[in-house]
Structure 1
Amino acid sequence: MKTAKVWRLGMGDMQILSGSRSRPPLKKPMWIIILVLFVCVFLICAYIYPPQSSSACYVFSSKGCKGFVDSFLPIPKREFTDEEIASHVVIDHILKTSHNLPKNPKIAFMFLSPGSLPFEKLWDKFFQGHEGKFSVYVHASKTKPVHVSRYFVNRDIRSDQVVWGKISMVDAERRLLANALQDPDNEHFVLLSESCVPLYNFDYIYNYLMYTNISFVDCFKDPGPHGNGRYSEHMLPEVEMKDFRKGAQWFSVKRQHAVIIMADNLYYSKFHTYCQPGVEGRNCIADEHYLPTFFNIIDPRGIANWSITHVDWSERKWHPKSYRAHDVTYELLKNITSIDVSVHVTSDEKREVQRWPCLWNGIQKPCYLFARKFTPETLDNLLHLFANYSSP
């Protein structure tokens, strides 16, 4: 009986199935189809883009979990060498030591020149009436200079040969700083060339430099062949590619930074050995990279990232534009003093233009206090125009 019952049930089912052939096929509920599609999409996305939450990171793969965990773990710092530890201790101590201005703070004007200074008469006019507020130092690398201004007489320091592009340029800068630091009243140290001229009167420049707590060191990142292309891996571990910087050599630094430059041997030795023209096929220029890189590593917030000495690179040559007598007009000088944005252009194919405002204690002001390269024939024009263009 059981068998017959089962057979009848089976036959009934067969009749139902048989009858269904003449009707349209039944449609599955839409929500099941949508759910299946959603799960498929979710699985594909989870595989391509690993989960970023801690609760789900192990659902699909340990790879996604690793990425999540790594994002919260601090990047391990490399172990410093003994020399780095010693250097950092000295530098940190100098930076953290409070410093009070002397009763009569002075600016040290340091001239780096091959011989005599063609603009001494202009500088004499600039210095007149401000005795006791400045000091003058002259490093003449080729011939003994003949001075025409009383402010320059007996202000020559022991000098040595300087070769463009070589570390000897940095050595001359350090030699000037060492002599200027011997005067405890010197608070700001300005490096100038024989072709430099002042753009403002003494009072304006004195207040601009003395009442700011930063140093004016040109510094920017250039990924091109004349920037990071000059980097040598032999500078590792102390100098990494990411810290390598470029900038004009014409600096103006406060006393703390001047002392730090003299105290540094670690970073200086790296540039002394591995930053020279022709080393490893590179054309590394030490005076363009040492101080920008050095301050980017030890005190990046303590520098302005631009030089207060203007120079015109618009001709895109190895050397900047030289001004002749016919170039020197009131309009030229006023145009230079009106610039209040620092501009750098990278040396790669993109030639990226980097701009930032020249901020003095948070206030946008003119970038430049000095300018170069003026040829000796421009002296008379400059003397004639000085009283007019030098007033802010």
Structure 2
Amino acid sequence: MKAAQAWRIGMKDNHILPPPRHRAQLKKPTWIIVLVSLVCVFLVFAYVYPLQHSGACYIILSSSCKTFSSWLPPPTRQLSDDEIASRVVIKNILKTPSIESNNPKIAFMFLSPGSLPFEKLWDKFFEGHEGRFSVHIHASREKPVHSSRYFINREIRSGKVDWGKISMVDAEKRLLANALKDPDNRHFVLLSDSCVPLHDFDYVYNYLMYTNVSFIDSFEDPGPHGSGRYSDHMLPEVEKKFFRKGAQWFTMKRQHAIIVMADSLYYTKFRDYCKPGMDGRNCYADEHYLPTFFHLLDPNGIANWSVTHVDWSEGKWHPKSYKEQDISPQLIKNITSISESVHVTSDEKKETMVKPCLWNGINRPCYLFARKFLPETLDRMIDLFTNQTMF
């Protein structure tokens, strides 16, 4: 009995004791809130005031600050009235269904200082396909002397063209404007006086007419011959991260040709701020205007490579020029078998970017034309074409 009574007394005393205090647990959530708040403040500060040009960037982060900020949402920028108007017009043009033609043609646009040394070769190329093409010639220095009936009276009103200046783009737009006057022209090809065809007409026609993109070269080059040519004066419409480079020689669909003619906003930026001597550099508008323009406004509508082959393997300021002794069936076979586009950056890394040439999603040979062929190669090229050795 005494033991039982003692047990009950112990239990009674136990209930009288106050519950234990857990002060440490009450403080823990407060510290978590404080810690999270500090992290949030740090992230906001790093986003608003990036540390990319500070030594602290590399102290706080083990990798570059660019990597750190890449997952943050991009800052929004209010478009100007001119940008809104430009984008509305271009968007509506791209969404407008293309008018069908009973006689769709390809416009071959030749940008040349004068006579075309390969007219006889192009004559062979065009022969028998009348009504499926048109020819337009921009001769900037002298009136051409023609050797082919397809080129007679096909000159447009031409202007002076200076290498490395906006006048090169002006000449391209002048050719497009004249070719667009024919509603049957559905695809537009820019060629130089040193260009030659690599395939017969039917192959080229089907390749271009039934594609779902324009073959405009566009890639990002962080080096001095790419983004190094950019000028901050192009802001806000053209930001450096959107600045692109590419070969001048393009082919494009009619809708794309129309939006090039409709553009004045972005063209003006390149006319005024992509030119020799801008910020102590030389910016070549013909290498940057169209690649940047289409990257900004219709990146999925271009192939990001040019169907005109050129050989830069010699590492000089100008591409390799093909001489008479260079011409052989094997040379043409080598060029026409290439099925990957290659871009090399101009920075110290010399990074090589290789991508398959996709035609409507199918990997196919990249090139329809090639340059720079010297006039002395004409007879050998005609011989190869006539004998169908490689075409």
TM-score normalised to structure 2 length: 0.83
1:304-323 pair list within 5 angstroms: 304-323=303-322
Corresponding position of 2:344: 345
Structure 2 Cα separation of the partners of residues 389 and 260 of structure 1: 40
Which amino acid in 2 is paired with 1:293? T
Structure 1 Cα separation of the partners of residues 376 and 33 of structure 2: 77
> Secondary structure of 2:178's match?
helix
Corresponding position of 2:292: 293
Corresponding position of 1:234: 233
- 8 Å contact from structure 1 (residues 83, 266) kept in 2: yes
**Per-residue deviation, 1:389:** 4.1
**Per-residue deviation, 1:77:** 1.5
Aligned counterpart for 1:64 among listed residues 33, 39, 49: 39
- 8 Å contact from structure 1 (residues 200, 389) kept in 2: no
Corresponding position of 2:388: 388
Which amino acid in 2 is paired with 1:242? K
Structure 2 Cα separation of the partners of residues 299 and 151 of structure 1: 34
**Per-residue deviation, 1:100:** 3.3
> Secondary structure of 2:219's match?
coil
Structure 1 Cα separation of the partners of residues 345 and 378 of structure 2: 34
> Secondary structure of 1:388's match?
coil
- 8 Å contact from structure 2 (residues 222, 347) kept in 1: yes
Corresponding position of 1:135: 134
Structure 2 unaligned blocks of 5 or more: 1-29, 48-68
CA distance 1:75–1:246, shift in 2 (3 Å): closer
Corresponding position of 2:80: 81
Corresponding position of 1:6: none
Structure 2 Cα separation of the partners of residues 63 and 299 of structure 1: 41
Structure 1 unaligned blocks of 5 or more: 1-54
Corresponding position of 2:260: 261
- 8 Å contact from structure 1 (residues 276, 283) kept in 2: yes
Runs of 4+ in 1 over 4 A off after TM superposition: 66-74
Which amino acid in 1 is paired with 2:259? I
- 8 Å contact from structure 1 (residues 170, 286) kept in 2: yes
CA distance 1:381–1:242, shift in 2 (3 Å): same
Which amino acid in 1 is paired with 2:293? F
> Secondary structure of 2:276's match?
coil
- The one-character-per-residue Cα deviations of 1:238-294 (angstroms, maximum 9, x if unpaired) are 000000000000000000000000000000000000111221111110100000000
Corresponding position of 2:149: 150
- 8 Å contact from structure 1 (residues 159, 172) kept in 2: yes
1:1-40 pair list within 5 angstroms: none
Structure 1 Cα separation of the partners of residues 290 and 373 of structure 2: 25
Q: Work out whether 1:324 is the aligned partner of 2:323.
A: yes
Instruction: Provide the alpha-carbon RMSD of the alignment.
Output: 1.7
1:211-290 pair list within 5 angstroms: 211-290=210-289
CA distance 1:181–1:231, shift in 2 (3 Å): same
**Per-residue deviation, 1:388:** 2.6
Structure 2 Cα separation of the partners of residues 247 and 67 of structure 1: 40
Corresponding position of 2:105: 106
Which amino acid in 2 is paired with 1:217? I
Structure 2 Cα separation of the partners of residues 74 and 316 of structure 1: 40
CA distance 1:75–1:67, shift in 2 (3 Å): farther
- The one-character-per-residue Cα deviations of 1:331-374 (angstroms, maximum 9, x if unpaired) are 00100000000000000000000110000011000000000000
> Secondary structure of 2:244's match?
coil
Structure 1 Cα separation of the partners of residues 72 and 188 of structure 2: 43
**Per-residue deviation, 1:329:** 0.7
Q: Work out whether 1:365 is the aligned partner of 2:364.
A: yes
- 8 Å contact from structure 1 (residues 141, 159) kept in 2: yes
Structure 1 Cα separation of the partners of residues 216 and 300 of structure 2: 11
Please say which structure displays the higher CA radius of gyration: 1
**Per-residue deviation, 1:180:** 0.1
CA distance 1:130–1:82, shift in 2 (3 Å): same
> Secondary structure of 2:117's match?
coil
**Per-residue deviation, 1:65:** 3.2
Corresponding position of 1:118: 117
**Per-residue deviation, 1:315:** 1.0
- Give the share of equivalent positions with the same residue, in percent: 70
- 8 Å contact from structure 1 (residues 245, 292) kept in 2: yes
- The one-character-per-residue Cα deviations of 1:29-52 (angstroms, maximum 9, x if unpaired) are xxxxxxxxxxxxxxxxxxxxxxxx
**Per-residue deviation, 1:75:** 3.8
Structure 2 Cα separation of the partners of residues 75 and 313 of structure 1: 37
Structure 2 Cα separation of the partners of residues 238 and 356 of structure 1: 29
Structure 2 Cα separation of the partners of residues 268 and 183 of structure 1: 24
Identify the range of structure 1 (342-351 vs 277-286) with the bigger mean alpha-carbon deviation. 277-286
TM-score normalised to structure 1 length: 0.83
CA distance 1:384–1:234, shift in 2 (3 Å): same
- 8 Å contact from structure 2 (residues 329, 390) kept in 1: no
Structure 2 Cα separation of the partners of residues 56 and 301 of structure 1: 49
Q: Work out whether 1:175 is the aligned partner of 2:150.
A: no
- 8 Å contact from structure 1 (residues 343, 354) kept in 2: yes
